[in-house]
Chain A
């Protein structure tokens, strides 16, 4: 079993004194769907960026057990964002954006309900739900072991939300990918996760006084 472990993470923005995360530890197993609930502006997104390697300036330790991370430059921890449109080069057609990550089989495209004609469209010609499907497929590179899903269905309608989560959960199970579901929506997290943690509980060294 592979495990993503973050130990005693601390973070503050460059030059500022105020800690956003302090002494925070969290772990994720590769067969686990874990929920993380937190208040808006409480550092959820920052934690996601640290876990997925987007933010290097933090204190503490981040490691993946029993897996040699040096064999490829591809990050085994992939982050899926709230706004899929920002993750696509606006001057690239969807096919090119997909290929940037891996060669996706027609099988998977069909499974995700992606029509062949969409591949020839520009990002601004697709809806938020359609774009989010693309960004999830991009993150599901065969090398991916963990997914950090940062409010990935917050901008989508309820019907699309169900479609995307059911797909993602079945794919993750098939491939033994661990998912951290980061959301403000308790109902959603309780519905899809095996285990739920609250950011306030694990980030206990920080007291908010808003």
Chain B
């Protein structure tokens, strides 16, 4: 084989890119990892970490106009403010075509969304991997739980997952560090739910946040805003975990500010030969060659890159003989549930900013299909005292009595919010507008996404059950909510290059390898054949580690 610049190229440096780089470099491969975003070095570039509220980094500059003009999408994100804006995409510089019809939250930094993610990690089970086969929506997954179980274990042992073992078959336990604790109201609600509903339990959230030192990283100190970056590395990110491991091998080259325009394909070799990049600052184009390509740019960006990599052999996009590429876009239902007020625990307060909540595993359609919808949902939630500013502004009056009354927190409130499974549907897709390009000369993405009737039925059930559980637990002033938002708001978008057994209906095989081009692998959320209702990031990591080890082996055997 010809000499190449690198053994492997990893496109993207987020949760999956970092894992691909770590695994491939540890197998001895010379790896180039590229990211379109600017470099963020662990620790030193977390410029707002531990910044107190009275020391705003932008010194009080009013920014409403800036957000409206430059960040109309990203400013919808619950983490977006002046302490995190430097991690986010500038929507004006890097737009997509229909920003009012789908919410695509993107970062523009090395490390990607691993810096900002919610850190909730749960194993999927065969309830999830066999869901499509069972009810006929979508195609069957080419893998089952036993295929991925060792990789879950490997990932968990490295990243560190705090949580409580529960022994559930449909939400398998991870390798756990000690769990975080519930507060007085959560513990009460847990007991009530488990006493009155024999089909469900409540457990502390399983989080990629360390409750004790692990792998050279420090334990959580409960300061709160993880999204600013954590210099002790208490939560898993590329910077805290996989990047140092990959760098330690001496086999990694990392290029920031480097967008990928296309994956280059040689029809004689029937292999990808490398990538064409665009420097996001200089707009200079460059080519890098490699024997192996790992596409880890995020569900949407990875699919877009393949769609843009057109050639005579692949006129509709690389590895798209199936026509499935860009289709079957999924997210989870979000912001449906209920809040309730608990008045009987006013004597207790909590201290510490726990970066985690509670979790109620799926209980509908488990064991048997018995609801008017298919699939299911889980609940996440937390109890807290009413936040100070909310209490202050909803309390009438002013003066000394007013000031002193605010020293006593208002009652505890608890929210339960469901994450519902989304069915894979052909109509939900991205397309590239080749005649509408951005500043890099890359085609803009247009989203097509509608919720289906099944998701609406799931939402109605989420609301009903959240209300029922809070009522049973003794809450008052229960307020059910169901805000049907745009796709993408749960930030669990996936499915645009799905895995499957049949090359005519899927893009990837059971090793996350494209059916059509054996040296191209896609291991981020694009690979997902169904969405489950369970948070997907841990599964992305496990699939990436599994695919990287397979690819390295295949390469070694000369099969790629």
Say whether A associates with B: no
Which residues of B come within 8 Å of A, CB atoms?
Answer: none
Binding site for B on A (CB under 8 A): none
